[in-house]
Structure 1
Amino acid sequence: MNVWHVVGTAALAAPPLVWSSLHAHSPEVRRWRQGTGQRTQVAGLGVRVFGTGETVVVLLAGLASSERFWGKSYDVLGQIARVVAIDPIGFGASIHHPALRKTVDAGVHVDAVLDVLRTLDLLSRPVVFVGHSMGASLAIRAGARHAPTRAVVAFDAPLYRSAVEANDRIRHMGWFEALLSQGPLAERVCHWMCDNRTVARGVAVAISPRLPVAIARDSVEHTWPGYIAGFDSLVRDPGWSDALVDLAVRNGPVRLVDGGRDPVQVPGGADEIAQRFSNVSSTRLPGGHRLPLSDPAGCESIVRAVLSEYAESDS
């Protein structure tokens, strides 16, 4: 056999082999399985509901993600609570929410989440709001608006004091993430994905070997208006601070849980917030910016501990 034929064949085979190796050895891939419950539409949002219990746990996905992010490890929460996993406006199965026909700010995002609870006849129930990244910011704001809220658990929350600080921290994620987070190029890429959704899903899987395939595919399930509305109103906007004040007035417990290697967080920011508010505590776990995916057991145990501490009156 010609030596160059061998070299050429090896070169073509190398990328799939590298992808397969990275995928097989990824802790996030090994630890994730599809969670229980049927995906459906409730009040215009993509929702998965399961479990029993008087207390409700609302799981909110982050930017460019879906409720599938909360995989099988979180099914155990359904043994002690009614769990409602939600795709925020503009993402996943909520990609075409009617609110996107107009301006979507943080208040509209909160309204949509509360509308889901109202439609499911759960609005008057005690709730523990749990969110990741953008969803963590949404969880804090929803918890401040929902009077029966028992507690908020915020994983990898982007708690920035200004849009300038937000832009700076996003750059710490790497050049590719910074390039596609905002601006004309990001908009063009997003429009291309909308026009070529099937191809875009394949590309997302190809460039994300360390993610479960379903999670990678869901990362392109959004439009530019939905993406930028979530980014501007729940990541770049510092309105979370007012929400924390409202929760402090009610003495509503807030758990801030960050990855020790998360480049998105402001160094010492969560500790500073915990020092300002007696109802806020900060915790760090080993890991980066996808804690609920990379350490589902540790994150689930924190939510379960909060439920145990603040839902004891259910019995």
Structure 2
Amino acid sequence: MSTLVEDLRTARRRFSVEFSPAHDEETAARQWRSVQRLRELGPLFASVTYGAGGGDREGTVELASRIAREGGVRPLAHLTAVGQSTQQLRGVLRELAAGGVRDVLALRGDPDGDPDAPWEPHPQGLQHADQLVRLAREEGAESVGVAAFPLGHPESPDLDTDLRHLLGKLAAGAGFAIAQLTYDVEDFLRLRDRLAAVGCEAPLVPGLLPVTSPKVLEVTRRLTHGHEPSWLNRRLQPLLDDRGAFREEGVRLAAEDGRRLLAEGVQVLHLYSLNASSNVVRLVEELGLAAPAAQRPAAG
């Protein structure tokens, strides 16, 4: 079987999808129906998020392992260094491996409860994401991904410094990067150009999140630290009181970004599901991202 990095290098017009561990039985059941629906479209992988301070550790291991066992999709488990010792992180990596999860997204992570609080490592933990990459490789992870920041990490003084940090994570053993959410396709393309200018050929995957409600808009504002183009508000602000129209416009915006990225030669789009399948299915169908029939898992 090919590795995730190999699949990312050879993919043509494909998608990946992200889920978060569910916190109640009803959400978990709905989420699993989404996993089953999306597997029919042949995603390259399904990533599973990891709560700040390891808050969703058990849920991450459980969901990623179930996807590996029953989902018919390659799972990519997030792992953060926040609030955990090196020994605890080794334990999580071993649990994931025992569950059949071969691939990890290594993230330093944000402080528990306040993403803007000063970063403080665990006394027996790790300081930087490149250390977590090395740890994951030591524990046998087949492919390790990292985060990339089109606008630069909030703690980086400038984009050149941020690029050096990204290159350091790749040099530590990461094979690909998933770009943090940005509203503007140009931000992603400029990051891709910066990597190409220094000869880096590691796969770089952009993320797309349909802004389908005012609540989702607020979440994305926090994720992008308030960086949003003026045209976004011009298109969404008039629709705040019309839930259906707001959702339609949000999906339309994501599809426009997806078409632009594909036109610029991007081959894989990472779609944030919010634990539901409908918006992802629509984008996959509109953008032509489903796997060829021969590469899709058998029904069951």
User: Would you call these one fold, judging by a TM-score over 0.5?
Assistant: no
Scaled by the length of structure 1, what TM-score is found?
Answer: 0.33
Structure showing the higher helix proportion among its residues: 1
Scaled by the length of structure 2, what TM-score is found?
Answer: 0.34
> Looking at CA atoms only, which structure, 1 or 2, has the larger radius of gyration?
1
